[in-house]
């Protein structure tokens, strides 16, 4: 079976994890501190706070920025549900925006209209742009809109570690940037996440929230606020540090692989994602013709030894959000198309061109069957 993705874990990662396991220092410690430092240098931000997942990173970011009851937060309608779920967990309301059909990212023309509409109606506080599948969102426009309306920006860069934008890297542009190290990501620590931050006081506050609100001083532990257990472990960080050294090379491999896909897929009547400068190609999603039954296609591909899947969710189509908000679906058409007709194909840096040829050949067979 050619899997959707496979983590790249070599003897170096095994040795790093085993070294920490043998030390007995398993919880958050020196390896995590070093990983934070190295990630900050890589991203070009002042500080990084490592946590247990990207969901934890997003949740902590909202809490640390004071977002909660009676607030509203804008999210792209096409994203993994966690982007919206964390907003709900704070007590704030979700405001979905449609996405661009070619980049799968937030449509900034629609964003501007929605910001103008919501300002003064509710306490609109923040925007969470998602760099979908590693494609950089239009951060220049997003930051301009946010600054003009006094909105906070939390980048959901779960899929976008290493994605370049205007000479820098995404995740270090907004007020906070959140990353994932899930096994589906190119750099993985099993589970895990990180928050990029350029404000020392905010970084300190995030660290308190991450670890039960504990502050250490000469007298020992003080619990200065109610916090969470969102810590990363030392052996996860040791793996991450090892992978970070190889990471830019992996991105280059992924850029070549997506071109291989394009060359082969041009023979089929499917829509391909736009090649945006700086894209790190975490995943590769195509859009199927409406007449193709995606679930049947996924089953047929599985029978041929190919794992494929849907991309992300359209928030307004999900049971909880549909019942609570009854969003107007006609204003979210692109997200719904991507949700219903998007197909993610196997994609990871360990793949070769010959596998892509085989995948597309079998995809063609299944579509025409």
The tens place of each residue's pLDDT in the chain, 369 residues long, gives 999 999 999 999 999 989 999 998 899 999 999 999 999 999 999 999 999 999 999 999 999 999 999 999 999 999 999 999 999 999 999 999 999 999 999 999 999 999 988 776 669 999 999 999 999 999 999 999 999 999 999 999 999 999 999 999 999 999 999 999 999 999 999 999 999 999 999 999 999 999 999 998 877 788 889 999 999 999 999 999 999 999 999 999 999 999 999 999 998 999 999 999 999 999 999 999 999 999 999 999 999 999 999 999 999 999 999 999 999 889 999 999 999 999 999 999 999 999 999 999 999 999 987
Q: Indicate the helix (H) or strand (E) that contains 48.
A: strand 47-51
The CATH class, in words, for 11-97+104-244 is alpha beta
Domain positions in the chain are 11-97+104-244, 247-368
pLDDT tens, residue by residue, 34-61: 999 999 999 999 999 999 999 999 999 9
Q: Report the CATH architecture of 247-368.
A: Alpha-Beta Complex (3.90)
Dist. CA 269–CA 118, nearest whole Å: 39
pLDDT tens, residue by residue, 83-134: 999 999 999 999 999 999 999 999 999 999 999 887 766 699 999 999 999 9
Q: Quote the DSSP letter at residue 130.
A: B
Dist. CA 367–CA 369, nearest whole Å: 6
Answer yes or no: are the C-beta atoms of 155 and 129 closer than 8 Å: yes
Q: What is the DSSP string of 203-265?
A: HHHHHHHHBTTEEEETTEEEE-S---B-PPPHHHHHHHHHHHTTHHHHHHHHHHHHHHHHHHH
Burial class (CB in 10 A: 0-12, 13-18, 19+), 220: exposed
Alpha helices in 119-178 (DSSP H): 139-148
Which of 196, 127, 124, 125 is CA-nearest to residue 158?
A: 196
Neighbours of 117 (CB within 10 A): 11
Dist. CA 185–CA 244, nearest whole Å: 12
Answer yes or no: are the C-beta atoms of 31 and 235 closer than 8 Å: yes
Q: Are strands 214-217 and 220-223 parallel, antiparallel or unpaired?
A: antiparallel
């Amino acid at each position: 079976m050619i899997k959707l993705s496979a983590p790249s874990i070599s003897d170096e990662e095994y040795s790093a994890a085993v070294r920490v396991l043998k030390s007995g220092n398993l919880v958050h410690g020196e390896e995590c501190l070093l990983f934070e430092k190295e990630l900050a240098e890589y991203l070009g931000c002042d500080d990084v706070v490592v946590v247990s997942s990207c969901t934890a990173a997003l949740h902590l970011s909202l809490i640390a920025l004071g977002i909660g009851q009676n607030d509203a937060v804008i999210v792209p309608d096409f994203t993994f549900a966690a982007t919206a779920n964390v907003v709900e967990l704070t007590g704030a309301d979700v405001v979905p925006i449609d996405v661009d059909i070619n980049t799968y990212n937030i449509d900034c023309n629609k964003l501007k209209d929605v910001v103008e509409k919501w300002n003064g109606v509710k306490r609109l506080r923040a925007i969470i742009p998602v760099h979908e599948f590693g494609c950089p969102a239009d951060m220049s426009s997003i930051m301009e809109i946010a600054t003009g309306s006094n909105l906070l920006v939390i980048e959901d860069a779960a899929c976008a570690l290493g994605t370049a934008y205007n000479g820098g890297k995404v995740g270090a542009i907004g007020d906070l940037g959140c990353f994932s190290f899930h096994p589906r990501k190119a750099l993985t620590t099993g589970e895990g996440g990180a928050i990029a931050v350029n404000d020392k006081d905010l970084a300190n506050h995030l660290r308190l929230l991450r670890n039960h609100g504990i502050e250490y001083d000469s007298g020992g532990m003080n619990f200065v606020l109610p916090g969470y257990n969102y810590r990363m472990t030392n052996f996860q960080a040791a793996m991450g540090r090892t992978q970070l050294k190889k990471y830019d090379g992996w991105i280059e491999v992924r850029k070549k692989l997506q071109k291989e896909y394009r060359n082969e897929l041009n023979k089929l009547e499917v829509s391909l994602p736009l090649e945006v400068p700086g894209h790190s190609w975490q995943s590769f999603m195509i859009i199927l013709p409406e007449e193709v039954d995606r679930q049947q296609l996924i089953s047929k591909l599985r029978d041929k030894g190919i794992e494929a899947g849907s991309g992300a969710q359209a928030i307004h189509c999900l049971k909880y959000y549909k019942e609570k908000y009854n969003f107007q679906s006609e204003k979210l058409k692109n997200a719904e198309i991507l949700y219903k007709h998007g197909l993610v194909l196997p994609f990871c840096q360990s793949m070769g061109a010959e596998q892509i040829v085989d995948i597309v050949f079998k995809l063609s067979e299944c579509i025409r069957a």
